Chains A and B, each alone.
Chain A
Amino acid sequence: MQPISYARPASLASAIATLAEAGPGTRVLAGGTTLYDLMKLDVERPERIVDINGLEELAAIDTSGDELIFGALARMSDVSADARLTSAFPALSEALWKAASQQLRNMASLGGNLLQRTRCAYFRHGEPFACNKRTPGSGCAAIEGLNRGHALFGGSDACIATYPGDFAVALVAFDAQIDIAGPDGERSIPFAELHRQPGDDPSNDTTLLPGEIIVRIRVPADPVGRASTYHKIRDRESFAFAVVSAAAAIRLEAGVVTDARLALGGVATVPWRAREAEQSLISKALTPETARAAGELAFADAVTRQHNAFKVELGANVVRDALLIASGRA
Chain B
Amino acid sequence: MKAGPYAEIPRVDAYEKVRGRAIYGTDNNPAGLAHGAFATATIGKGRITAMDLSEAQAVEGVRLIVTHEETESLQPARFIMQHGFAFQSYSPVLTPHVAYRGQPVALVVADTLQAAIEAASHIRVSYEEEPFTPALDSEGADPVPQAEAATAWPIEDIAVGDAEAAYAAAAVKVDATYTMSTQHQNPMELIGTVAAWEGEHLTVYEGTQNAGACKFGLAEQLGIPAENITVISPYIGGGFGQKNTTQSQLVLAAFAARELGRPVKVVVPRRQIFHDSSFRPATRQRVRLSADSTGRFTAALYEIDAQTSMHDFFQSEHADTAARHYGYGAFRSFARLVPTDTPTPGYMRAPFEHATAFAIESTVDELAYELGMDPVQIRLLNDTKIDIVSGLPHSSRHISTCLRRGAEMFGWDRRTPEPRSMVAENGDLIGMGVAIGLYVGAGGPNRASIRATRNGAIEISLGVHEMGQGIRTAVANVVARHLNVAPESVTAILGDTRGVPQMLTAGSWGSASSIPAAEAACEALREALDALGTNAPEGASPAEILALADRDELSVNAATFAPGQNKEALGEIDTGHVAPTGPVYPDFVTYSYAAHFVEVRVEPTTRRIRVPRVVSMLDCGRVLSPRTARSQAISGVVWGIGGALREAGEVDERYGGILNADIAEYLVPVNADIGSIEVGFIDEPDPLVNRSGVKGLGEVVLVGVAPAITNAVYHATGIRARHLPVRIEDLI
A residues near B, CB below 8 A?
1-2, 42, 119, 121-122, 125, 127-129, 141, 144-146, 233, 235-240, 243, 310, 313-314, 317-318, 320-321
Contacts and interface: CB of A to CB of B under 8 A. Distances in A.
B521 to A, nearest CB: 46
Interface string B588-616: 00000000000000010111101000000
Interface of B: 42-43, 59-61, 101, 114-115, 118, 121, 271, 603, 605-608, 610, 645-646, 650, 652, 654-655, 659-661, 664-665, 667, 669-673, 727-729, 732
Contacts of A238: 670-673
Contacts of A240: 667
Nearest to B729: A310
5 contacts: A121-B659, A121-B660, A235-B646, A238-B672, A238-B673
Given A125-B661, A314-B732, A237 B652 contact: no
B713 to A, nearest CB: 16
Contact of B42 (A127, A236, A317): A127
A146 B655 CA distance: 11
A243 B728 contact: yes
Given A128-B42, A145-B652, A146-B650, A236 B607 contact: no
Contact of A235 (B42, B610, B655, B667): B667
B672 A237 contact: yes
A310 B655 contact: no
A129 B27 CA distance: 34
Contacts of A317: 605-606
A128 B127 CA distance: 13
A310 B729 CA distance: 6
The 7 closest A-B pairs by CB, nearest first: A238-B672, A237-B672, A310-B729, A317-B605, A128-B42, A127-B42, A121-B659
Contacts of A146: 650, 652, 659
Contacts of B115: 1
A119 B121 contact: no
A39 to B, nearest CB: 11
Contacts of A128: 42-43, 101, 655
B48 to A, nearest CB: 15
Given A125-B659, A128-B655, A313-B732, 4 more contacts: A146-B650, A233-B606, A233-B608, A233-B728
A228 B728 CA distance: 25
A235 B727 contact: yes
A128 B646 CA distance: 27
Contacts of A320: 605
Nearest to A239: B670
Contacts of A2: 118
A318 B605 CA distance: 8
Given A2-B118, A146-B652, A314-B732, A119 B42 contact: no
Given A146-B652, A243-B728, A317-B606, A236 B665 contact: no
Contacts of B121: 42
A121 B673 contact: no
A62 to B, nearest CB: 32
A8 to B, nearest CB: 21
Contacts of A237: 610, 670, 672-673
Please indicate which of the listed interface residues A128, A129, A233 has the most CB atoms of chain B within 10 Å of its own CB: A128
B452 to A, nearest CB: 47
A236 B732 contact: no
Contacts of A125: 271, 659, 661
A314 B606 contact: yes
Given A129-B655, A145-B652, A314-B607, A1 B60 contact: yes
Contact of A314 (B60, B114, B667, B729): B729
B714 to A, nearest CB: 19
Nearest to A241: B664
A318 B671 CA distance: 23
A249 to B, nearest CB: 19
A317 B603 CA distance: 10
Contacts of A314: 606-607, 728-729, 732
Contact of A318 (B101, B606, B654): B606
A1 B114 CA distance: 8
A129 to B, nearest CB: 7
A310 B59 contact: no
A236 B661 contact: no
Contacts of A321: 603, 605-606
A33 to B, nearest CB: 11
B732 A310 contact: yes
A154 B721 CA distance: 33
A13 B670 CA distance: 43
A121 to B, nearest CB: 5
Please indicate which of the listed interface residues A119, A236, A239, A321 has the most CB atoms of chain B within 10 Å of its own CB: A236
Contacts of A141: 652, 654-655
A318 B728 CA distance: 12
Please indicate which of the listed interface residues B115, B603, B650, B659 has the most CB atoms of chain A within 10 Å of its own CB: B659
Contacts of B60: 1
A119 B670 contact: no
A236 B646 contact: yes
A125 B671 CA distance: 28
Nearest to A149: B665
A302 to B, nearest CB: 14
A200 B396 CA distance: 68
A145 B654 CA distance: 8
A122 B133 CA distance: 20
B412 to A, nearest CB: 26
Contacts of B667: 235-236, 240
A141 B608 CA distance: 29
Contacts of B661: 125
A169 to B, nearest CB: 17
B659 A236 contact: no
Contact of A236 (B271, B660, B672, B729): B672
Contacts of A129: 655
Contacts of B729: 310, 314
A224 to B, nearest CB: 24
A320 B427 CA distance: 14
Contacts of B42: 127-128
Given A310-B728, A314-B728, A119 B671 contact: no
Given A121-B660, A128-B43, A321-B605, A236 B669 contact: yes
Contacts of B665: 119, 121
